[in-house]
């Protein structure tokens, strides 16, 4: 890399990195045991939070060149933010990571194939709900037309990496296009109204995971919520923000803020830990935009995970029952570390009769999904997943509960990899709560 190119990288890091935040790191090392990539890399400091911060600061100060090793260290980070609650100095590592990735993204000339993939996914697909429906619809055609069966029989999937072949088995059954297109915009509480809320439906959640969204609004209705679902909302922008596409993320944030502004609700409810953690930081994302800063604060002040509002409304005190089984819970990193929500899911699970809840060892550690991490960093992702599944097997659970779509797919992938699909299921927490509430009502 030429001197001119290195200078451009340094200038980009100086422009985007919060230097005061870099200085907050005291190099104490409390973050090290919480970092999956540090542990899995054999305790390589370059793959630790404090190591990455040292690299970032070194680039800003002109002491380190942006080599492939520096870029790989930043890209290999999951962004799980487990280092943040472990840090006695309160370093906002997630923000530093996004800033560093933005600096690299704006400066580096990426290969043609990567530019094409980014353009298709980040610009042409996720921001456009109709295109998401069409794309997911193609997956349904693959599943229902006989093409999936033929592909498996002919061994075509053998040309793909092992984790991709297993992931194909773990994909949920895609809903019909008609179901994805015709969505409700208002749902009343089943009994007396206790809260009026808006529901953030998301992009993948309102297409591939449509049934989970439907169960979420049904639960909210059971709990006494009138629900507004703005039809002009869109993707939260998390994938863009985490991948260095910060300006695109800002555009998507503004669209969502505008969509919910006139709802006049008590809360904006999410059911995806990754989306919620990004939504709750719209005020930070737009803090330097005078026209949007205050509007973003108003928006973020209302964000609440579905498990939190259910506990607030004492849903766990309703009759809840399922068939005899052992259940364990895998924390969503961004729900726990980004939204500080970890007791609420456990309160709800422990309230269900007929099952035994077993806390998993290191339930708060990342499962290796991290958005599209399991696709772009498969080797590290699968190492992390293998460790996670060892902890699952220790619990002897028949049901693994999650609170995020990426975690759900990753745990389904882990179940398939371990050959446990006939005995173990992975589900979103709202699926188990609906099952428990409706079974209890049937019995009574």
Q: What are the structure tokens assigned to 233, written together?
A: 């909302």
The confidence band for 270, taking pLDDT boundaries of 50, 70 and 90, is very high
Comma-separated ranges of CATH 1.10.1060.10 domains in the chain: 3-107
Dump pLDDT digits (tens) for 218-235. 999 999 999 999 999 999
Provide the β-strand partners of residue 198.
228, 268
Comma-separated ranges of CATH 1.20.1050 domains in the chain: 180-310
- From residue 293, alpha-carbon distances to 235, 242, 254, 277, 299 in Å are 20, 20, 10, 18, 10
Comma-separated ranges of CATH 3.40.50 domains in the chain: 314-443
Q: Which CATH class is domain 3-107?
A: mainly alpha
What integer pLDDT is reported at residue 128 of this predicted model? 85
Q: What is the DSSP pairing of strand 225-228 with strand 186-187?
A: antiparallel
Provide the β-strand partners of residue 304.
269
Nearest to 325 by CA among 297, 358, 295: 358
What integer pLDDT is reported at residue 35 of this predicted model? 97
Q: Which CATH class is domain 314-443?
A: alpha beta
pLDDT(105) > 70: yes
Q: Which CATH class is domain 180-310?
A: mainly alpha
Q: What are the structure tokens assigned to 141, written together?
A: 């055609």
What average pLDDT does this structure show over 156-162?
A: 82
pLDDT(444) > 70: no
For 90, residues 6+ apart whose C-beta sits below 8 A from its C-beta are 24, 84
Q: Per this entry, what is the length of the chain?
A: 444
Nearest to 272 by CA among 227, 197, 212, 224: 212
Q: What is the reported pTM?
A: 0.93
CB atoms within 10 A of CB 274: 28
Provide the β-strand partners of residue 357.
327
């Amino acid at each position: 890399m030429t001197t001119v190119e290195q200078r451009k990288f340094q200038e980009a890091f100086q422009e985007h990195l919060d230097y005061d935040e870099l200085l907050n790191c005291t190099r104490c090392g409390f973050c090290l045991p919480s970092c999956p990539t540090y542990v899995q890399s054999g305790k390589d400091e370059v793959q630790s939070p404090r190591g990455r911060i040292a690299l970032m600061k070194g680039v800003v100060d002109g002491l380190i060149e942006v080599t492939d090793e520096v870029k790989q260290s930043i890209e290999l980070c999951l962004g799980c933010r487990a280092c943040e609650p472990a840090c006695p100095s309160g370093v906002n590592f997630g923000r530093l990571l996004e800033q560093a990735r933005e600096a690299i993204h704006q400066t580096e000339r990426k290969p043609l194939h990567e530019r094409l993939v980014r353009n298709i996914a980040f610009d042409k697909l996720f921001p456009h709900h109709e295109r998401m429906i069409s794309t997911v619809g193609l997956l349904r055609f693959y599943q229902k037309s006989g093409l999936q069966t033929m592909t498996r029989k002919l061994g075509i999937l053998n040309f793909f990496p092992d984790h991709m072949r297993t992931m194909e088995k773990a994909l949920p059954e895609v809903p019909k296009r008609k179901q994805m297109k015709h969505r409700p915009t208002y749902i009343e509480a089943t009994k007396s109204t206790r809260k009026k809320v808006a529901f953030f439906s998301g992009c993948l959640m309102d297409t591939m995971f449509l049934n989970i969204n439907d169960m979420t609004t049904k639960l909210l209705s059971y709990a006494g919520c009138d629900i507004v679902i703005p039809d002009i909302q869109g993707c939260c922008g998390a994938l863009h923000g985490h991948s260095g596409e910060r300006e695109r993320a800002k555009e998507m944030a503004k669209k969502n803020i505008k969509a919910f502004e006139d709802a006049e609700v008590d809360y904006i409810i999410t059911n995806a830990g990754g989306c919620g953690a990004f939504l709750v930081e719209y005020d930070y994302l737009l803090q330097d935009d005078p026209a949007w800063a205050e509007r973003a604060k108003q928006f973020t002040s209302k964000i609440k995970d579905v498990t939190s509002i259910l506990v607030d409304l004492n849903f766990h005190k309703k009759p809840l029952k399922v068939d005899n089984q052992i259940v364990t819970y895998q924390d969503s990193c961004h729900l726990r570390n980004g939204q500080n929500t970890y007791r609420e899911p456990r309160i709800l699970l422990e309230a269900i009769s007929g099952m035994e809840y077993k806390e998993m060892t290191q339930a708060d550690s990342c499962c290796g999904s991290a958005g599209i991490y399991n696709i772009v960093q498969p080797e590290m992702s699968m190492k992390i997943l293998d460790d996670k599944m060892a902890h699952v097997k220790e619990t002897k659970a028949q049901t693994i509960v999650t609170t995020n779509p990426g975690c759900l797919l990753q745990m389904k992938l882990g179940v398939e990899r371990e050959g446990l699909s006939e005995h173990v299921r992975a589900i979103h927490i709202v699926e188990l709560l609906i099952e428990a509430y409706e079974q209890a009502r049937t019995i009574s």
